[in-house]
Structure 1
Amino acid sequence: MDDCLQTIVDYGLRSVGIGQRLLPKEDFTLCQQVTLIGSGMIWNVYFGILALVFGFMAATGLAVAKAAKSKWIRKPAEWFIFLFRGSPLFIQFFFAYFLFLSLKGVSPIFNPFTSAWLGALIVLFCNTAAYSGEIFYGALQSIPKGDVEAADAYGLTGWSRFKRVIWPTMLRLAWPAYTNEAIFLFHATTLVFFTGFPAWQQRGDALYYANYFADKTFNPFVPYPILAGYFIILTLIVISIFGLVNRHLNKHLPQHQRRKLKLRPKLIR
């Protein structure tokens, strides 16, 4: 027990540069694998939360822009969504890395963009913004005309109408599908390990450490189930949080009319 506690102290925050720098080389214990893979989850949560927060705001703007009457506003949004929904996320990582690498040669200001903490985050942000933007656009198109007419009858126009009527209704309609997008986004953070963005000083994400132990022990049936267990726990947390938001968005509706969350995992982007 004392050895495991010491392992947690030594490796619990290793992925962010705190604790032992060198990885264990032999005689791997279950505690070491659980601790180091859990340490790598810090990066997966970092990528997921930041991409989700900023992607949510961008998705709202994309949905509104795609629904705009002016083609100068609508077309850029349509092409952005088409580009990031039409190409595999894995390929987007590689193109972005080489793009940032080329820009790095132009100006040193682009140096951070070739690191995973920023470059990979930008790709995840753009990808989830495109998918979420399409979800929100579909919800915008599904808003009952009666809700908009009622807002007009009360004298609500412009930003006031959008903030009080259109945006809450859009979220209520889109939230179940958006919950599935959020779950997939966290799962997609594991792709960062396979891209060109380097793991700085062997401080990678959860899949990095799981792959390390699988290679060293020639036994993938211990580290990968541990990794899966962490993501199952993370998924349950996301479902719980989004479920609370969903209940808040639908609290004004009768019980039989409230939209329930349904988990529909995506096997491939």
Structure 2
Amino acid sequence: MSCVQIIQDYALRSIGIGERLLPKTDFTLCHQVTLIGSGMLWNIYFGVLALLAGFFLANALAVAKNSNTRWLRKPAEWFIFVFRGSPLFVQFFFGYFLFLSLKKAFPVFAPFTDAWLGALVVLFFNTAAYSAEIFYGALRSVPKGDMEAADAYGFSGWKKFRHITWPTTLRLAWPAYTNEAIFLFHATVLVFFSGFPAWRQKGDALYYASYFAEKTFNPFVPYPILAGYFILLTLIIVGIFGLINHRLNRHLPQQQRRKIRLRPRLIR
């Protein structure tokens, strides 16, 4: 079988398009590159949707935590503490069994026991909690002079927040938020190794890499391929977030612009 035929058969297998059965023997490098790349579609799906939804919840949590109103501040603090204080892998397990219990009582929760929705919700809450702490720190670091200047121009309430506080918070938080986005995409590899099952062997990139490692007894081919895909994905994220960072800091002199530095974490 030619590499072109393999790509046609397996490139979209992870989303149910193409060959239903995985190859059993005669694994080629093309098989491994194609199927692991196919699984990356799920990692991108989880990462993009969780990041987009988590961004808005994170900002709301940061504002709530910075509030002087106790009934807004305390729930936000506890939400952030719980999801930052427990391992993501454990959150997947608890999330799956919680949705499984809810499914038995309320059938409407049935879709949440599938990875495409249930795991997405867990990732959404997790990244929102970590991002909220980043935005909260940036919110507390908004220069006092900016606030005084806004008051002098007659800005107050929502107008002050929308035009002064929030843009400055984003500018200060963006480099750290970029690293959170990178880690979120890396964390998506845990989805199909937690409680959420892979339906009809349609897993993510790590699922396929593990499959080839088990079948060939040689992990030194599929796992470097997996790492290569994630390195490429990381470069794309850094590039996109770098453009946004440039846009946020376009009004500052070149020497005062905050640059994005990749700071990988060894442990969550």
Q: Same fold (TM over 0.5)?
A: yes
Structure 2 equivalent of residue 168 of structure 1: 167
C-alpha separation in 2, matches of 1:66 and 1:107: 33
Q: For residues 148-194 of structure 1, give each alpha carbon's deviation from its aligned partner in whole angstroms, at most 9, with x where no partner exists.
A: 11111111111111111101000000011000000000000001121
How does 1:96-175 map onto structure 2 within 5 Å? 96-175=95-174
Structure 1 equivalent of residue 90 of structure 2: 91
C-alpha separation in 2, matches of 1:182 and 1:44: 12
C-alpha separation in 2, matches of 1:104 and 1:242: 38
Say if 2:202 is the partner of 1:203.
yes
Q: CA deviation at 1:252?
A: 0.6
Q: For residues 1-42 of structure 1, give each alpha carbon's deviation from its aligned partner in whole angstroms, at most 9, with x where no partner exists.
A: x81111111000000000000000000010010000000000
Structure 1 counterpart of 2:43, which letter?
A: N
2:2 aligns to what SS in structure 1? helix
Say if 2:57 is the partner of 1:37.
no
Q: Which moved more, 1:213-222 or 1:154-163?
A: 154-163
C-alpha separation in 2, matches of 1:57 and 1:260: 23
Q: CA deviation at 1:74?
A: 0.3
Structure 1 equivalent of residue 240 of structure 2: 241
Segments of structure 1 that go 5 or more residues without pairing to the other structure are: none
Structure 2 counterpart of 1:91, which letter?
A: V
C-alpha separation in 1, matches of 2:233 and 2:31: 20
How does 1:51-66 map onto structure 2 within 5 Å? 51-66=50-65
Say if 2:256 is the partner of 1:253.
no
Structure 1 equivalent of residue 24 of structure 2: 25
C-alpha separation in 2, matches of 1:238 and 1:97: 29
Structure 1 equivalent of residue 186 of structure 2: 187
C-alpha separation in 2, matches of 1:153 and 1:52: 36
Q: For residues 99-125 of structure 1, give each alpha carbon's deviation from its aligned partner in whole angstroms, at most 9, with x where no partner exists.
A: 001001001101000000000000000
Structure 1 equivalent of residue 217 of structure 2: 218
C-alpha separation in 2, matches of 1:158 and 1:43: 41
Taking structure 1 as the reference length, the TM-score comes to 0.99
Say if 2:49 is the partner of 1:50.
yes
Structure 2 counterpart of 1:246, which letter?
A: N
C-alpha separation in 1, matches of 2:199 and 2:253: 52
- Identity of matched residues, %: 75
After the TM superposition, which parts of structure 1 deviate over 2 Å for at least 4 consecutive aligned residues? Answer: none
Q: CA deviation at 1:268?
A: 1.0
Q: CA deviation at 1:94?
A: 0.4
Structure 1 equivalent of residue 69 of structure 2: 70
Q: CA deviation at 1:203?
A: 0.2
C-alpha separation in 2, matches of 1:14 and 1:153: 60
Structure 2 counterpart of 1:66, which letter?
A: K
1:82 aligns to what SS in structure 2? helix
Structure 1 counterpart of 2:210, which letter?
A: N
Segments of structure 2 that go 5 or more residues without pairing to the other structure are: none
Q: Which moved more, 1:21-30 or 1:152-161?
A: 152-161
